[in-house]
Structure 1
Amino acid sequence: MAISRKLLNEGEEVLASMRQHPKALFPAIFALVVLLAVGVAVQTLIDQHVVTLVVWALVAVGVLWWVARPVLLWAVAVHAITDRRIITRWGVLTRRGHDIPLKRVSDISIEINLIDRPFGCGTLIITDASTDGTVYLHDIPHVERIKLLIHNIVHELPDAHPRTEGV
């Protein structure tokens, strides 16, 4: 689950490393239950061998697309907060990522809906000063603690533009 050391600069320290809360896999689990129910229902209700084989083949394709793919994508996605930036990496064949230098963070907010509350997760919304605008990190475990961590780090950073008195 930890971020790769090769993504870090010299002297950079990882303060938190996480992936999405397993709650993000609930749609995949629901799809698995529905697909298996369809396969079993067809096998028990229809007494034709060819139809049963075709349905199970379609169930297998559905399991690969709606279950295995989301689980794999969940397993390879990682978010990390270092003392210098927020790092996000995801993707299987094509790795994608987003780095936000903490000096550019202009706003940090969270969104915890009714479903997120029992699981202790939520969406972390980070607005930076660049043209990219806003980054949404969904289903982050302990999102309030992570928001506080980022806020404290940003607050402790030296100002990028020192103020001059009397100007």
Structure 2
Amino acid sequence: MLHPAHYARLMGYTQKYFNEGEVMVLDLHPHWWTFVKPVFKLLAAFALVTVSFRISTVASSSFLKTLETIAVNASWALIGVTFIMLLVHALQWSRVHFVVTNQRVIYRSGVIARNGIEIPVRKVNNVSFHQSFLERIVGAGDLLIESGGEDGQSLFSDIRDPEQVQNIIQRTLRRVDEEPHD
């Protein structure tokens, strides 16, 4: 279960661009589920090296030994490439923030080129979520926020516990609606 204060404390989204009186309610990175594919690729590369070593131990002729050496070296290169891809994915993951404050829903992503979406909480019309069977098992899903802004709908993928995030946004919206307007 998400506890907003816990995640706001741990995830570290910068508050230097917050408005006066703006308070962080929730700060999330994408779900860990996004690491499954790159980790699986790395494990497959390790399996390929293991198979290459097994085959190289039974090679008898010098031609076969040369082929096996090439296969083993290519497998190690594949491990290096997939490990670098995993590190790049981790860096990209660390630079994605889904933030809910008492005034805005903020989404920031990108390492070199940055992208951002800001939806004023007062403009949020509807918040819905979708989880496949597998996403329900791991606790991930998509969140769709409909707003009165120019873009209308914003889809956020790989959100941790999207039903709970939906509830947090709706509670924040209710609190904002109860406040007197300026």
Same fold (TM over 0.5): yes
Aligned-pair CA distance for 1:51: 4.1
Residues matched between the structures, number: 159
Deviations 1:7-57 (A, max 9, x none): 311211001111122112111111111121123322332433344323322
Structure 2 counterparts to residues 117-136 of structure 1, below 5 A = 117-136=136-155
Question: How much has 1:86 moved relative to structure 2?
Answer: 0.6
Larger radius of gyration: 2
Q: Distance in 2 between matches of 1:54 and 1:29?
A: 19
Q: How does 1:120-159 map to 2 (within 5 A)?
A: 120-158=139-177
- Do 2:38 and 2:82's aligned partners in 1 also have CA atoms closer than 8 Å? no
Q: Which residue of 1 aligns with 2:59?
A: none
1:73 pairs, out of 76, 92, 102, with 92
Aligned to 1:64: 84
Structure 1 contact 112–122 (Cα < 8 Å) conserved: yes
Please give the secondary structure, in 2, of the residue aligned with 1:7. coil
TM-score w.r.t. length of structure 1:
0.83
Residue range with higher mean Cα deviation, 126-135 or 54-63: 54-63
Name the aligned partner's letter for residue 51 of structure 2.
A
Which of 141-150 and 49-58 deviates more?
49-58
- Give 1:35's aligned residue: 45
Residue 7 of structure 1 aligns to which amino acid in structure 2?
Y
Q: 1 or 2, which has the higher helix percentage?
A: 2
Stretches of 4+ aligned residues off by more than 3 angstroms: none
Q: 2:112 is matched with which residue?
A: 93
Q: Deviations over 1:41-79 (max 9, x none)?
A: 2233243334432332233123323x2222221122111
The residue that corresponds to 1:165 in the other structure is none
Q: TM-score w.r.t. structure 2 length?
A: 0.77
Structure 1: gaps of 5 or more residues: 163-167
Change in Cα spacing, 1:36 to 1:133, as seen in structure 2 (3 Å) is: farther
Structure 2 residues not aligned, in runs of 5+: 1-10, 57-64
Amino acid of the structure 2 residue aligned with 1:80: V
Q: Which string of whole-angstrom CA distances, capped at 9 and with x for unpartnered residues, describes residues 73-96 of structure 1?
A: 112211110000011112112222
Partner residue of 1:54 out of 67, 74, 81: 74
